[in-house]
Structure 1
Amino acid sequence: MPAHPAGDTDRAAGLEEPSAATDARPIKVIVWDLDHTLWDGVLLEDGDVTLRPGIVDTITALDRRGILHSVASRNDPDTALARLEKFQLAEYFLHPRIGWGAKSESVAAIAADLNLSLDAVAFVDDDAVERAEVAFHHPQVRCFHPDDAPSLPDLPELAGARTEEAARRRQLYREDLVRTRAEAEHEGPRPEFLASLNMNLLVHPARREDLERLRELTLRTNQLNSTGHTYNLAELEECLRSDRYELVVAELSDRFGSYGKIGLALTEHIGDRWLVKLVLTSCRVLNRGIGSILLTVIANRAVAAGARLQAEFVETGRNRPMYVAFRLAGFRPAAESAEPTADGRPVILERADTSPVPVPAHVTVDDRT
């Protein structure tokens, strides 16, 4: 579905409407305007505004799929938030930006607050000028007119997932807000704060009921993804059945609650050689060091098995944090490989050290593999 076609007013203004018709990259958050978009009317002028038809159904349907929502609106913050509370919608919107600044700045700030890239963002606004302003500064953002809102759940890029984590995603992000506030209020060094979280990393063999979530992780995870490759359910089921491959799941919890299933590792066993085909962890744990800890778990199991441990890495332009995680876990380019470059060619990394790796003290690992 394209962004809403330009009307006579838009053409008279010389605006070129951005199109979202051919972009199938998953959208992870929708940023909504309020006046004449979420509701009919202008709140500060009309007072008694009403929700546009179909808006609530769209928001709740996408929320169940794990699609997040936020707000970028030129409005009085207290008045607008009070009206969202009255409509019982305030809880759906994370990091709302309500004020008088540019919408492009608000959209960028929301993406940063959610630790999402701008190409995972959609923007809905009735004003063609506002859509054009956002598209000019952030061409990777998909822009829509509110008339398109009832049909948004039909878009493949908003298919989301039907998993426990998807249904709880908004709550998981709200728990992250509590963690962020706690860290901001902590007066000691950061390692001391991390230790106070009492993090527990559970690593276990994948089960059939985990596969939909693992598929979702391969689609959604970019920064902490060793190759950028995605896997469909059939491919994951094949790996699960095969004696040649080992597929494990990582789950994380701390004193604030569960992060859910946040990572996976797929290792191919070739004689006494273990080759990590894919390892990834959710961007929500980017600052917890979990990527290198998961690699450490694999490394220590390889040491115990007397196996040679290697891993494939493909530079995607966005996954440098995962390469750093490999380095922290003791991996270096194998003798036959060079440093990763952005040409899409796989590089073989190897951990030549055959001694066990200590797990950082701020995380307890429960390895059930």
Structure 2
Amino acid sequence: MTTSEAEAVTPVKCLVWDLDDTLWGGTVLEGDDPRPLDEAVSTLHALDERGVLHAVASRGDEATALAHLDKLGLAELFTVLEVGWGAKSESVRRISETLGIGIDTLAFVDNDPVERAEVAAAHARVRCYAAEELAELPEREEFRSRHVTQEARGRRRLYQAEASRNQAQEAYEGTPAEFLASLDLELTLRAAAPDDLARAHELTVRTHQLNTTGRGYSMAELREMCDSPRYQVLVAGLTDRFGSYGIIGLAVVEHVGERGVLRLLLLSCRVMSRGIGPALIGHVVRETLAEGRRPEAEFVPTEVNRVMLVNLRFAGFEVLERGEDRLLLGFPPDREPPSPPSHVRIVGSTSTATGSGI
């Protein structure tokens, strides 16, 4: 395994599999009819139940590999298939882009040490494992989750629905804006309830790119904030004509005198292309102004979250203070609040969602 101690605690969101002599014993293209290895099947199902996605980066013919996966009843467990003759590091990169998740949240398993070395050399943050380690992967810290949410159990189906959306978008003949409008997006905002705490905590742990501060909160911290009139803890859900995206966002607003300070805003990477960031930020601004408070927002830069600063600035926030490791932004008092985007219907009022008593 090629990993550093620091990376070992970063949760794995997707395990990328080699097929021949890793998932099954033998080579399909050489005429073998291999059965899946027991430890591989066990690991597939254990991680799928926790919300870890599975993908394939393997040598061979894609149609043949898919046919064999179908025959074994395993095809539905994989979200992305990259089967061919190119470098596996390129397959891993494309899987990261297709799923919209950071390369550092992928892991790779292969029986061939040369293939593992090639991937590790190209992507230092991708954790690589030998096929012999498969049985123990579910016990490793990077694959474990203290709280397995309903959202996690259905994560594979959410990503598969997203694949259907992407296929529909590729076939759509209109503009990107027209396609977004055709989705019938509905963003639901509400105060966090007891059943939301595990998912809210999971979002703070798993979400890096679309996170304004990179800050994580434990369930105890979230519960304490939900119980306090000083804080507003909001969860965001999203649906469209293809179905539900699940709970995809979290916002924490602190009431400090006449100010409403957005201490955390994060969104699942799955909705990056849906324009949900500006929709959620705009809604928080309008609700804060309606309560008679000045909207402000804290931003802490990380290696990957600059897009969230762009979203805040696009929504109208301006820099008030610059510290060594943080920015404080404010919404100008003479500026009109941003209008809701035309392609998203926003449901639910959050103006009374303080001190929800959970």
Are 1:220 and 2:201 an aligned pair?
no
Partner Cα separation in structure 2 for residue 299 and residue 53 of structure 1: 53
Partner Cα separation in structure 2 for residue 163 and residue 125 of structure 1: 29
Structure-to-structure mapping, 1:1-369, within 5 angstroms: 3=1, 18-19=2-3, 23-160=8-145, 161-334=147-320, 337-338=321-322, 345-353=325-333, 355-369=336-350
Question: Aligned partner of 2:233: which letter?
Answer: L
Partner Cα separation in structure 1 for residue 15 and residue 281 of structure 2: 33
Partner Cα separation in structure 2 for residue 310 and residue 329 of structure 1: 12
Partner Cα separation in structure 1 for residue 176 and residue 286 of structure 2: 26
Instruction: Give the drift of 1:270.
Output: 1.3
Question: Aligned partner of 2:331: which letter?
Answer: R
Question: Aligned partner of 2:329: which letter?
Answer: L
Partner Cα separation in structure 2 for residue 221 and residue 175 of structure 1: 20
Structure 1 unmatched ranges of 5 or more: 4-17
Partner Cα separation in structure 1 for residue 108 and residue 40 of structure 2: 14
Partner Cα separation in structure 2 for residue 25 and residue 60 of structure 1: 21
Question: Aligned partner of 1:243: which letter?
Answer: P
Question: Aligned partner of 1:351: which letter?
Answer: F
Instruction: Give the drift of 1:146.
Output: 1.2
Instruction: Give the drift of 1:53.
Output: 2.2
Partner Cα separation in structure 2 for residue 325 and residue 218 of structure 1: 18
Contact 2:106/2:126 (CA < 8 Å) preserved in 1?
yes
CA-to-partner distance for each residue in 1:259-313, whole Å, 9 max, x for gaps? Answer: 1100011011112111111011111000111111111111111111121111110
Partner Cα separation in structure 2 for residue 194 and residue 144 of structure 1: 39
Aligned length: 347
Partner Cα separation in structure 2 for residue 226 and residue 41 of structure 1: 47
Contact 1:186/1:193 (CA < 8 Å) preserved in 2?
yes
What does residue 356 of structure 2 align with?
Answer: none
CA-to-partner distance for each residue in 1:99-136, whole Å, 9 max, x for gaps? Answer: 11111111111111111111101000000101011111
Instruction: Give the drift of 1:20.
Output: 5.8
CA-to-partner distance for each residue in 1:29-66, whole Å, 9 max, x for gaps? Answer: 00000111001122222512121122111111111111
Partner Cα separation in structure 2 for residue 269 and residue 53 of structure 1: 54
Instruction: Give the drift of 1:367.
Output: 2.3
Question: Aligned partner of 2:187: which letter?
Answer: L
Partner Cα separation in structure 2 for residue 158 and residue 305 of structure 1: 42
The percent of aligned pairs where both chains have the same amino acid is 46
Partner Cα separation in structure 2 for residue 19 and residue 287 of structure 1: 31
In the superposition, the TM-score normalised over structure 2's length comes to: 0.94
Contact 2:210/2:307 (CA < 8 Å) preserved in 1?
yes
Instruction: Give the drift of 1:356.
Output: 3.4
Partner Cα separation in structure 2 for residue 250 and residue 267 of structure 1: 14
In the superposition, the TM-score normalised over structure 1's length comes to: 0.91
Runs of 4+ residues deviating >3 angstroms: 19-22, 353-356
Please state whether the residue corresponding to 2:100 is helix, strand or coil: coil
Structure 2 unmatched ranges of 5 or more: 351-358
CA-to-partner distance for each residue in 1:171-199, whole Å, 9 max, x for gaps? Answer: 11111111111111222222111111111
Contact 1:20/1:143 (CA < 8 Å) preserved in 2?
no
Partner Cα separation in structure 1 for residue 27 and residue 208 of structure 2: 39
Question: Aligned partner of 1:212: which letter?
Answer: A
Partner Cα separation in structure 1 for residue 286 and residue 10 of structure 2: 36
Question: Aligned partner of 1:295: which letter?
Answer: I
- Higher mean alpha-carbon deviation, 274-283 vs 181-190, is at 181-190
Instruction: Give the drift of 1:368.
Output: 2.8
Partner Cα separation in structure 2 for residue 121 and residue 357 of structure 1: 37
- Higher mean alpha-carbon deviation, 44-53 vs 323-332, is at 44-53
- Higher mean alpha-carbon deviation, 41-50 vs 318-327, is at 41-50
